[in-house]
A and B are shown apart, each in its own frame.
Chain A
Amino acid sequence: MMYLPQRLVIEKEVGDSPLVKRILTTSPGIPVDWVDRVQEDTVSENGTVLEIVRFRGRFVKPCPGTRSYNCCGYQILNFGIQCNLGCTYCILQAYFPNSNLRLFANTTEMMQELGEHLLNSPKPVHRIGTGEFTDSLLLDPWTRMSEVLVPFFARQSKAVLELKTKTTNVDLLESLEHGGHTIVAWSLNPSEVIAKEETGAATLEERLGAAKRCQEWGYRVAFHFDPLLAYPGWQQGYQEVVDRLFSAVDPGGIAWISLGTLRFMPSLKTVIQQRYPNTSILDEEFIPGLDGKLRYFRDLRVEMYAYLNELLLGIQKDLCVYLCMESDDVWRQAFGFTPAERGGLSAMLDRRAFP
């Protein structure tokens, strides 16, 4: 799969940056518009434009969890925003109305801020991911960001990097010194869901094939059943995913598996209806959650989590399966315990990060 946009818009100020040089080298022939400053209200062109700008905010941020639900304490390294895989449910459609991909070229500043953050933070372990506001590996063949990030994390004693993706862009990872400090993660869904709702992303088979390759190169892998989608026959669909997952990868090399049912800000509903009038992801009943997002009714969430958890632990008893943004009572009902009973969700995952 190739996801490189058809046109580049680059701020002149970052023209000499290593990122811009790498992209211009790896993607010759793509038209470039050089501009003084990319405006916030540039014309949105359905993911066919890549804007490369100087980022003026904080690169490292806590994941935007809410107090009402258990958050995993993940931190975000923000190297870019947007995605052009075109998943119907994608929350980025509401976060960023402009659909142009955007990368931040001042990576030297980014790495400096990251280094200072790791040095000064009192947290015992840092789990840092780049896949919150974009897909971690979507543009990696051209940006070669993994060549910067993976060796950096290999040198850290208390930090791991999680690269979350729905692509198969893992080739560059093969030769990198990762020191066991990079976890490569895929979002998983049944093939019929991928075919309807994740049309631009790699197939299930391709994702699992890429995961297998990463395991062969010594990386630990992770999987996110997020969003879990309820549709007629979802039980069978997810059972097949689990079966195929464990026939492709070694369960012992899985750092963690998260579960999270579909949830979204109410404003996303209209966007989905307009962009994807034929999608059926809005058919299920939704209720407003404690964080204001629409989510499945609690009984269905508990049913789905309990079902997946049983399937997963039935194959490998000591897998670390966790719920993304759920309350204690849902944890207790679905899993039989709350995170607090195991030292808190953050600590559970920290132990998996550095076993």
Chain B
Amino acid sequence: MVEKESYSIQLEEVDWNDTSCLITYGPLPDKLILSIQTVGLIQKPLLQRKSNGLLRIICGSRRLAVCQQLGLDPLSCEVLSTSTSPVASLRMAIYDNIAQRGLNPVEKSLVLTKMAQHLDQPQLVQEFMPLLDLEPSDTLCGRYKKLPALEEPILDAIARGTLHERIGFVLSALEQGDRLAFFNFFAELPFSVSVQEELVETVVGIGGRDNLTPTQILDSEEVNDLRRAHKGPARQRAQQIRKQLQARRAPRLTARKERFAREARDLGLPSGVRLIPPPYFEGPKWSLEFTFVGDEGLAVRLRNVARLAEQARFQRIMESE
């Protein structure tokens, strides 16, 4: 059993800078403020006396913050024995929180980062990742452990759920300025999470090849022209920017697609017939799609296409430049 006793404490005794057991992240919930305002503190926070006489917060950091905000002082709290080890205190903080609510991704990253200072990797992965509803994996654990180093606006967005943690993972590999450039870019335009991931890879790829930073690319004139354009809905602008960046990253594929579109148009395929190249123009399998009504409609299209197939330009369309 945990050795603890009830004490009345002054809030000035709390060491607010000691975050060793702090795993909560995000704004104070309005309902918690309302609750404490209305009925007072129902559940006592848990603290631990430090060698310098101050108190380390173990559980109830948000309750304490609300009390401070409301000027409720002194407070009745539980105080842990000094003999409780740091890892035991941290474990209490974690289990106390997960018993009450689901943690946001930033909080999960704090749990893994702080516990990593006390446990070896296999124990951390096997005990704590399932507890956090995460797949027990070294790789995933490594990704979460990089999140706390991200900038506050990014962490706030991840904690709020407006930026997916997967984007946090990919941003963690970049320089600070580039992270914030992407963050602002994604805050401005509606991209799905997978497209955001794709865009980071695309922009980093362009940068590596052209010796530019992601910030320089995202702030380039051609991207900015589209970002700042007031014409058209944001979704449409987002699509245009994505297309432009893809074309810049993959100029050969883009040129091939454009050539194909031009040649397919010039081929004069009958209406209701569509020529589909193999994915990425790789491999020999091309497709024709027919839309028709009745057997006569099909017969007409087949005759027209058969005539086209004999032409040299139909063969050329399938070849490289």
Contacts and interface: CB of A to CB of B under 8 A. Distances in A.
B312 to A, nearest CB: 16
Given A299-B321, A333-B320, A285 B251 contact: yes
Interface of A: 68, 280, 282-285, 287-290, 297-300, 302-303, 327-329, 333
Nearest to A68: B283
Report the 4 A-B pairs with minimum CB-CB distance, sorted nearest first: A287-B280, A283-B209, A285-B250, A299-B320
B251 A298 contact: no
22 contacts: A284-B209, A285-B250, A285-B251, A285-B252, A287-B250, A287-B280, A287-B282, A288-B282, A290-B283, A297-B253, A297-B281, A298-B281, A298-B282, A299-B252, A299-B281, A327-B283, A327-B284, A328-B284, A329-B283, A329-B318, A329-B319, A333-B320
Contacts of B252: 285, 297, 299-300
A258 to B, nearest CB: 20
Contacts of B161: none
B256 interface: yes
B148 interface: no
B249 interface: yes
Contacts of A303: 320
A283 B251 contact: no
Residue of A280, A288, A329 with most chain B CB atoms under a 10 A cut-off: A329
Given A289-B282, A299-B252, A333-B320, 11 more contacts: A68-B283, A280-B208, A280-B209, A284-B209, A285-B249, A288-B280, A297-B250, A297-B281, A299-B321, A327-B283, A329-B284
Contact of B253 (A68, A282, A287, A289): A287
A156 B281 CA distance: 44
Nearest to B209: A283
Contacts of A333: 319-320
A198 to B, nearest CB: 20
B136 interface: no
A283 B205 contact: yes
B245 to A, nearest CB: 12
Residue of B253, B284, B318, B320 with most chain A CB atoms under a 10 A cut-off: B320
Interface in B242-259: 249-253, 256
A252 to B, nearest CB: 33
B67 to A, nearest CB: 46
A297 B209 contact: no
Nearest to A306: B320
Nearest to A300: B252
A299 B250 CA distance: 12
B205 A282 contact: yes
Contacts of B209: 280, 283-284
Contacts of B256: 297, 299
Residue of A290, A298, A327 with most chain B CB atoms under a 10 A cut-off: A298
Contact of B320 (A68, A283, A298, A328): A298
Interface in B214-229: none
A68 B252 CA distance: 22
A290 B205 contact: no
Nearest to A232: B209
B61 to A, nearest CB: 36
Residue of B250, B280, B318 with most chain A CB atoms under a 10 A cut-off: B280
Nearest to B319: A333
A69 to B, nearest CB: 9
Contacts of A328: 284
Contacts of A298: 280-282, 320
Nearest to B253: A297
A280 B253 CA distance: 20
A303 B320 CA distance: 9
Nearest to A332: B319
Nearest to B173: A273
Interface in B93-107: none
A299 B255 CA distance: 10
A290 B279 CA distance: 9
Interface string B298-321: 000000000000000000001111
B202 to A, nearest CB: 10
A298 B255 CA distance: 12
